[in-house]
A and B are shown apart, each in its own frame.
Chain A
Amino acid sequence: MFKNLNYKMQRRIIIFAFSLIPVTLLFTFAYLPVINMFKYSFTDWNGYSKSYDYVGFENYKTIFTDSKYFSVFKVSLYYFVGSFVQMGLALYFATILSTSVRFKNFFKGVMFFPYLLNGVAIGFIFLFFFRPDGTLDTLLQSVGLGAYTQGWLLNPHIINISLAGASLWRYMGFNFIIFLGAISSIGKDVYEAAEIDGANRWHQFRHIILPSIKSIVQLNLILAISGAISAFDIPYIMTGGSNGSNTFVIQTVTTAFKYNKLGLASAMAVVLLFIVVIVTLLQRLFIKEEK
């Protein structure tokens, strides 16, 4: 039956037929819930009642006027700083492992391994790691640094550093593998030419590797920052947001499922979405200016 159609028409039909299923799935499971979330954010729905009232911008007003909802963002700063450390380390290891090192593939595996682990498992690993006389304390004692042991999760000034550390451990492998992929796509002849011109490793990194993977660094930066703003799994599993480790997403979950304020929580999710979008835009703007 398609024989009579011209090539252009056939092409259109095929494109349409092939994209119908993925687009339907995408719409049903990605866009529809988001649209609903926007709708809920203007209501006082409690999450299960059959009826709810529209309350206009009341929920947004609450978020921006009650300090309890916004003050938690300062916890994100720890993860934000942590994400730069994470990127630095990932870049460092990626650069080293892109040259000819012994046991290269083994180390690649070691670096990437934490990312493959389940977040819940990591939470529990670090819970044992940080507990008094746990792994970290034992380690410090065995190398004679016993005096430096801390209540890693007990001390409210340290808890976020500990948690950001666990987060760093988990996600560094992901940044690392992306950097490594980008670096290995740089042609060998460029290095050879640079070597002939007398460039050392640092020069090579600064003037060849970094410019070549700039867009990947940018991408990782965006991912890292939006990850920092929406930090959730590690602190939620390890502390449940207590002792000053509450993040905005944990706050949202608490609001939605403990106090049954799904409308308000939806509004919080919308606010978070916009913050991430704004930060991403700002970042692109700044990086463009540098050019």
Chain B
Amino acid sequence: MIKRKATIGLVTVALVGSMLAGCSQNNAENNPTTNTEGTEQTGKGPSGEITVLTQRTDIVDTVFKGYATEFNKKYPDVKVNFQALSDYEGQITVRMNSDDYGDVLLVPTSIPLADTPEFFEPLGDLAEMSKEYIGLEERAVDGKAYGIPIAVNFSGVLYNKKVFNDAGVTKAPRTTDEFLTALKAIKDKGNAIPLYTNYADSWPLTQWEAVLTTVAGNVDYVNVEQPNTDENFVPGKPHYELYKVMYDAAKQGLIEKDPTTTNWEASKADMANGKIGAMVLGSWAIGQVSALAPNKDDIAYMPFPTNASEIIMPLADDYTLGINKNSDNKEAARAWIDWFVKESGYSVEQAGGMSPVVGAPLPETLKQFEGTDVKFELQSPAKAGQEGWVDKIDKDAEIGLWQPEFKKRIIEAAIGNLDESFDDIMKDLNEDWVSSRAKVVGK
């Protein structure tokens, strides 16, 4: 979910472009058939002016400008403006209190599923659209889809193959024990930090939550089983096992020496240069790290170690694109979304993930897993009537499954800064979970 959040500390507002009222709206068919380059389509395709909001402050003036040019070859009557927000989640929720939040925007993850129709235009029937795109379930309410993912990411462990090889670990560890043994071997070798947590930047810690499905070995756990259990953080359950790896690694000194002064940008370069063994990050990070590596083949990706019988590398939506309910040019906005997802190549080239279009080829980084027992699967959506429960319980309990707070607590406890044990923390979290679950489910 998190892209380029490295600059988040600097709350600089980068508002690019200007908001202008839309022009007239043409009544035309939704998806004009493909046409040759440069042909005038006046009167046929959608027209008007749309504002597209993006989180990519880094490429809004370069790559996105190119997208607009390409898009205009097909839809010459649509003028596309971009606005990039540096702290996307923080700024967009405030802006959504007004009607003025662009025409096409990324659906903020903090907006609960049930509230989506208040702000966004339905894009079509879920069943119908599922033939075309995957990953729509995350933003579907009552059988209607409200967002199309800009990319589909997979989650696991990014590691430096050379560091692992030098320490005598030639095969990617499969189980948690193997993983810890491998980290220890790297530590004994002494040339690299085995596992870098990025504690100080803190958002990288939230990436651990994404591999929960791998630890559970079951695509149903996150959305189907979790909201129906009072035993979420107890020994033997995925959350306990997942964060036990974090705790054990920190406890055994397999993480950075001083977690409080880590630096995200530096960590990418350190990993590329073999000073860091592994980091738990989403697939989007692969491109960013390997771009810095002297030998690109050193940077590899593996599923999170698991004791489950199946290895599932979970696929999850990046941000999804939706249309502002108050937009004046919904048709043009829709044309942009379809074009952006299908034809811009953003999902693979810029997001480092997979294309959400059904039947799209696997990206290079995943080719290595073809023919292995690693499965790529989307998490199953919540049962009808239970949509958004996990999020509601989580927010109410202030556990913060997707926030860094309790991960930091685990590391602090492991390095001896807190008097709590791992079991104390888990017990505490589980108590919060149970009492908030009773509140949410009881409603």
A237 engages B258 (CB within 8 Å): no
Number of interface residues of B (CB under 8 A): 33
Chain A nearest CB: distance from B36 CB in Å? Answer: 44
Interface presence of A102 (CB below 8 A): no
Interface of A is mostly: loop
Q: Mark out the residues of chain B between 257 and 308 whose CB falls within 8 Å of any chain A CB in the assembled complex.
A: 257-261
Q: Please, how many angstroms separate the alpha-carbon atoms of A120 and B10 in the complex?
A: 7
User: Which residue on chain B has the smallest CB distance to residue A51?
Assistant: B118
User: Which residue on chain B has the smallest CB distance to residue A162?
Assistant: B260
Identify which of B97, B112, B398, B417 contacts A155 (C-beta below 8 A).
B417
List, in ascending order, chain A residues with CB within 8 A of B130's CB: none
Interface presence of B400 (CB below 8 A): yes
B10 engages A127 (CB within 8 Å): no
Q: Please, how many angstroms separate the alpha-carbon atoms of A239 and B412 in the complex?
A: 13
A153 engages B258 (CB within 8 Å): yes
A-contact bits for B416-434, CB 8 A (1 contact / 0 none) = 0110000000000000000
List, in ascending order, chain A residues with CB within 8 A of B199's CB: 242
Given contacts A47-B93, A48-B97, contact A258 B260 (CB under 8 A): no
Chain B nearest CB: distance from A125 CB in Å? Answer: 13
Identify which of B119, B259, B417 contacts A244 (C-beta below 8 A).
B417
B259 engages A154 (CB within 8 Å): yes
List, in ascending order, chain B residues with CB within 8 A of A242's CB: 199, 202, 260, 404-405, 408, 412
List, in ascending order, chain A residues with CB within 8 A of B408's CB: 242-243
Given contacts A47-B93, A48-B111, A156-B412, contact A260 B395 (CB under 8 A): yes
B110 engages A260 (CB within 8 Å): yes
Q: Please, how many angstroms separate the alpha-carbon atoms of A242 and B258 in the complex?
A: 13
Given contacts A132-B258, A132-B261, contact A48 B405 (CB under 8 A): no
List, in ascending order, chain A residues with CB within 8 A of B395's CB: 46, 259-261
Identify which of B110, B261, B400 contacts A130 (C-beta below 8 A).
B261
Interface extent on A, as a size class? 20 to 34
Q: Please, how many angstroms separate the alpha-carbon atoms of A211 and B404 in the complex?
A: 51
Interface presence of B66 (CB below 8 A): no
Q: Please, how many angstroms separate the alpha-carbon atoms of A38 and B93 in the complex?
A: 20
Q: Mark out the residues of chain A between 143 and 161 whose CB falls within 8 Å of any chain B CB in the assembled complex.
A: 151, 153-156, 159
Chain A nearest CB: distance from B11 CB in Å? Answer: 8
Interface presence of B90 (CB below 8 A): yes
Q: Please, how many angstroms separate the alpha-carbon atoms of A260 and B392 in the complex?
A: 10
Chain A nearest CB: distance from B158 CB in Å? Answer: 23
Interface presence of B371 (CB below 8 A): no
User: Which residue on chain B has the smallest CB distance to residue A127?
Assistant: B261
A153 engages B261 (CB within 8 Å): yes
Identify which of B112, B118, B261 contacts A131 (C-beta below 8 A).
B261
Identify which of A120, A130, A131, A254 contacts B405 (C-beta below 8 A).
A254
Q: Please, how many angstroms separate the alpha-carbon atoms of A148 and B177 in the complex?
A: 38
Interface presence of B373 (CB below 8 A): no
B257 engages A132 (CB within 8 Å): yes
A49 engages B118 (CB within 8 Å): yes
B260 engages A154 (CB within 8 Å): yes
Given contacts A48-B97, A154-B258, contact A258 B400 (CB under 8 A): yes
List, in ascending order, chain A residues with CB within 8 A of B111's CB: 48
Chain B nearest CB: distance from A266 CB in Å? Answer: 14
User: Which residue on chain B has the smallest CB distance to residue A257?
Assistant: B90
Interface presence of A50 (CB below 8 A): yes
User: Which residue on chain B has the smallest CB distance to residue A236?
Assistant: B9
User: Which residue on chain A has the smallest CB distance to residue B257?
Assistant: A132
Chain B nearest CB: distance from A26 CB in Å? Answer: 22
List, in ascending order, chain B residues with CB within 8 A of A46's CB: 112, 395
B261 engages A134 (CB within 8 Å): yes
Chain B nearest CB: distance from A238 CB in Å? Answer: 9
Q: Please, how many angstroms separate the alpha-carbon atoms of A242 and B408 in the complex?
A: 7
B200 engages A239 (CB within 8 Å): yes
Q: Please, how many angstroms separate the alpha-carbon atoms of A224 and B97 in the complex?
A: 35
Q: Please, how many angstroms separate the alpha-carbon atoms of A257 and B403 in the complex?
A: 11
Most buried by A among B10, B199, B417: B417
Q: Mark out the residues of chain A between 238 and 259 whose CB falls within 8 Å of any chain B CB in the assembled complex.
A: 239-240, 242-244, 254-255, 257-259
Chain B nearest CB: distance from A285 CB in Å? Answer: 37
25 sample A-B contacts, Cβ–Cβ < 8 Å, listed by A number: A48-B94, A49-B115, A120-B9, A120-B10, A123-B9, A131-B261, A132-B258, A153-B260, A153-B261, A154-B259, A154-B260, A154-B261, A156-B418, A159-B260, A239-B260, A240-B404, A243-B260, A243-B408, A243-B412, A243-B417, A255-B398, A258-B405, A259-B398, A259-B400, A261-B398
The 6 A-B pairs with the shortest beta carbon distances in the complex, nearest first, are A131-B261, A153-B260, A156-B417, A242-B408, A132-B258, A48-B93
Q: A49-B115, A120-B10, A257-B93 are in contact. List 17 more A-B contacts (CB 8 A).
A: A48-B111, A132-B258, A151-B258, A151-B260, A154-B258, A154-B260, A155-B417, A156-B412, A156-B417, A239-B260, A242-B260, A242-B405, A244-B417, A258-B400, A258-B405, A259-B403, A260-B110
